[in-house]
Chain A
Amino acid sequence: MNDIHLSFILNGQRVNLVIAPNIMLVDLLRDILGLKGTKVGCREGECGACTVLLNGEPVNSCILPAMKVMDQFVTTIEGITKDHALDPIQQAFIDEGAIQCGFCSPAMILSAKALLEKNPNPTEYQIKESLSGVLCRCTGYKKIIKAVQTASAIRKSLG
């Protein structure tokens, strides 16, 4: 195995590591950096549980070779909470009952974050489009959509 140097910005902080060439981003985050918030559901990019934001855009980290994030910005669910204060999206998910087993929640929350950063006032159709890459088996999606709408309203009122 030939180890390689990786340097990237994770949740706002630069990280420098030596990694194995075959490691996927999700395993780098979970096993090496100890950030377990990103989940593994299928390892083929079909369920979206492993979603992280790469330069603000959602990607499936289970099939993303870790080296691809060299000098890029990666945001995980751990990076959404700032100094113990919940992001309005997280609060909305909690308040609207959009979290049941919670396995898809980090992925849904990050997808919603990416959407609201680009489009603060999405229609229901746009919310569905943006979250269509994450599967949920528990909630039926309805409260998740509501949570994103609530978060959008909260963000607007916060200015």
Chain B
Amino acid sequence: MDEEKKKKAKVINREKLDTQQLFQLKTEVGLSVVGQSIPRTDAREKATGKLAYGADYPQEGYLHGKILRSPFPHALIKKINVEKAQKLPGVVAVLTAKDVPGRNSFGVVIPDQPVICGDKVRFVGDAVALVAGETEEISYRALSMIEVEYEPLQPVFDPKEALKPEAPLIHDQGNLLVHHKLRKGDVQKGLAESDVILERTYKVPFVEHAYLEPDVVMAIPKPDGTIRIQGPMQAPFTVRRNVAAVLGIPINKVQVRSIYMGGGFGGKEDAPLDIGCRAAVLAVKTGRPIRLALEREEVTLQTAKRHPHIMEIKIGAKKDGTIVAFEGTIYNEKGAYASLGPLVNIHSVIMMPGPYEIPNCKVDGYLCYTNHPFGGAMRGFGAPQVCFAHESIIDELALELGMNPLEIRRKNAFKLGSMTATSQVLDQSVGLQETIEACAKAFDWNRRYQEAGYLDRERTRRRGVGIGMGFYRTSFGASFDGCGANVYVQEDGSVLLYSGITEIGQGSFTVLTQICAEELGICVEDIRLVEPDTDLVPEAGPTVGSRSTTLMGNAIILAARQVKDSIMEMASEMISVPVERLAAKNRYIWDCEHPENRIHFRDVVSKCWMKGKRLIGQGWWAPPPPSLDPETSQGNPYFVYAYSTQMAEVVVDVETGEVEVTDFVAAFDVGKAINPCAVEGQIEGGITMGLGYALMEEIILKDGYIQNLSFQDFLIPTIKDVPQITPIILEVENKLGPYGAKGMGEMPNIPTAPAIVNAIAHACGGRVRSLPADPEKVWRAIREAGGPPEK
């Protein structure tokens, strides 16, 4: 071989490469599938109404499961009599706590939620009994015939109240579930050195995921003692482990299949656990398939929500805007059960100081049980709450210092090499400053900031602008975080892709297929992604935490490369070209130096198959292990972050407090957009969700009872509420991501609410410190500020 060509050749000895180098390899011929906005692989089925969601599965032969719910927020169960209900013709089983075969509790982190409550109930809607009947009507009637005697206990509804020593105990071990601490530097010293100190409190309420598809689950027991659970769910492996424990059987006897979801946003991480375990118990006890479906109001009543936070912040800064100290206290309202609370809490604590270089930080996060519906995972996992707080106080600080809100952010925001509040050095993929510049330019920030003011002669409408900025991790930073994928190339060149990542609507199936196609050098149509079934796919973890594209993408690349080795070796033989000179794209493999010398993927695969060569690939990828000191939360909790700057323009009716968002520009550093159209979709959808959080979403509780169970009164944005949204996608490559990608599922909806609330403050002088900023709150804020500005 020529010396020249030797130089060009890349040594591809995969065992010797570490993860970082592995993903820096790029094919010389450029990308063919990744980076393309191809239509989603499931779009046609969805557009024609042919795709089967959970409720579309056949119901013949299934018993209808229903849950009897507690009418009290906190009570002892003194007596329960199911005789009358059992005698109703068509009722097959009525179960109480004693009927649970295994562990009578489930939970994603801590299994503290009873499958069926035995001794007490802890929130309105808690499960007290289960019924399985031949028809839904019969099951419903049976519910009403179960006699329960309750002894109501004193409930507690406020997290701060719950922490007091005299507060009624919700769980035996106390109302404080966990206290997480962050300690960096010396916050007292920092405050002492500050020229300006601001103290503020911010509040955010319970909100609902409000996915359009209500939850449903099917549990099918088999004669061999195994059970199949299927339904829309984001975390089939979590469901499997819990169902096994609840039934008291080994995990390998539980098969869980996740089907296409009509939205999830984190809510379908633990709701399927809830109804899945209950359906499983009914299935095992009746020996018949069970279908348990929730009506919309029941979804609101019993499923997890976003944790309310009360956030007290003290921030200290120099005259020039350098932030030197940040002290925060979070009262994180858990509600009745743990669900994902402990993980949300540590995340809130870590993220509380925001994407700013602050040398002295002290944060305490108290996760407190209350007799309210419980918080779980919801898009952002603590970040939307704390981002609202830190972005609001930064703006208030800017006002105090007479600084442009953009300037104070530019000054303090993360750059490559910055140290976070956990003292993590951000050593790669930090596009925050780039997002600031791109957003400010596209939005024309300075001009709009100066030009805010009255729009009409009557002086009722004022325009204003605001910024929100944030960062968000990829994946959840647990030691057991890992992801496996199998790639099986069939003898005719078609491919089966086994991935346990679920399709919530975010486009994961499409994006992961794109990555696989790119790696193998074929087309998306050649690959069939097998629906996540725990019997078929390797452990993948849950589809949460913006981890799917990155972790599963990496696993798929590793799996595909195992197969690709065989294919490239064989191709090399078949067309007599050294492996190093081969390139693969669009179903062809060819000699880079003599492109006309090429061979079809199918022919190479066929030959491999004939020769018994490996066409099965298996990949496993785990992020670098996290580290976090339990006392100070110092360390590297997550391995990479996405960044975003968002700018909102609003028009406030200063007399009524009505807010209209008229323009929105948002820039994101996504590492690499595998499918730019899908990324835009996440951006536009996430911003709309953030707009709802900012202006209209709120679960209203009175004495523990939700007042707005239905869509009539729990308001999410309609098509008429959404402004022009301009998404800007920036790519600052993540060395540890597939083709440089990072997670983007949650990032878009995090800085949105503060951007809007900051814009409202700029428009009318009214600062709203508790979401949602509905018309009345804005009106009050204007009055508190002494009326709208003069100019």
Contact = CB atoms under 8 A, between A and B. Distances in A.
Contacts of B681: 97, 100, 138-140, 143
A46 B718 CA distance: 11
Interface in B262-276: 262-265
Contacts of B211: 101, 103, 137
B48 A37 contact: yes
B341 interface: no
Contact of A97 (B50, B212, B677, B725): B677
Given A132-B718, A137-B689, A101 B263 contact: yes
Interface in A76-92: 76-78, 80-81, 86, 90-91
B510 to A, nearest CB: 10
B212 A76 contact: no
Given A46-B712, A93-B43, A142-B725, A137 B265 contact: yes
Contacts of B261: 101
Interface stretch (A2-10, A64-72, A104-112, A115-123): A104-112
Interface stretch (B180-188, B396-404, B465-473, B501-509): B501-509
A80 B44 CA distance: 13
Nearest to B505: A101
Contact of B719 (A35, A99, A103, A128): A128
Contacts of A93: 43, 47
B716 interface: yes
A100 B507 CA distance: 7
B49 interface: yes
B37 A97 contact: yes
Interface string B677-698: 1101101111111000000000
Contacts of A31: 59
Contacts of A39: 53, 55, 212-213, 262
A104 B40 contact: no
A114 interface: no
B442 interface: no
B447 interface: no
Contact of B725 (A49, A132, A140): A140
Nearest to B714: A46
The size class of the interface chain B forms with chain A is: 35 or more
B701 interface: no
A140 B685 contact: yes
B42 to A, nearest CB: 7
A100 B506 contact: yes
A90 B505 contact: no
Interface string A127-141: 011011011111111
A76 B505 contact: no
Nearest to B261: A101
A128 B53 CA distance: 27
Interface in A32-74: 35-44, 46-47, 49
B56 A36 contact: yes
A86 B47 contact: yes
B212 A37 contact: no
Given A41-B296, A44-B712, A90 B686 contact: no
Nearest to B725: A142
B101 interface: no
Contacts of A102: 42-43, 45-47, 51, 260, 262, 505
A77 B689 CA distance: 27
B685 A90 contact: no
A144 interface: yes
B212 A103 contact: yes
Nearest to B691: A140
Contacts of A38: 49
Interface in B196-210: 209-210
Nearest to A95: B39
B770 interface: no
A23 interface: no
Nearest to B211: A137
B711 interface: yes
Contacts of B507: 100
B49 A36 contact: yes
Given A138-B681, A141-B719, A143-B681, A44 B47 contact: no
Contacts of A15: none
Contacts of B50: 37
Interface in A11-37: 30-31, 35-37
A143 B684 contact: yes
B295 interface: yes
A30 B53 CA distance: 12
Interface in B515-568: none
Given A102-B51, A137-B210, A137-B211, A94 B719 contact: no
A132 B48 contact: no
B153 interface: no
Contacts of A35: 49
Given A40-B55, A99-B47, A141 B40 contact: no
Nearest to A106: B49
Given A103-B262, A138-B681, 18 more contacts: A36-B52, A37-B50, A42-B710, A43-B295, A46-B710, A46-B712, A77-B49, A86-B48, A94-B44, A100-B507, A135-B716, A137-B265, A138-B506, A139-B681, A140-B683, A140-B685, A140-B688, A142-B725
12 contacts: A39-B212, A42-B710, A94-B44, A101-B212, A101-B264, A102-B45, A132-B718, A135-B716, A137-B211, A140-B683, A140-B722, A144-B719
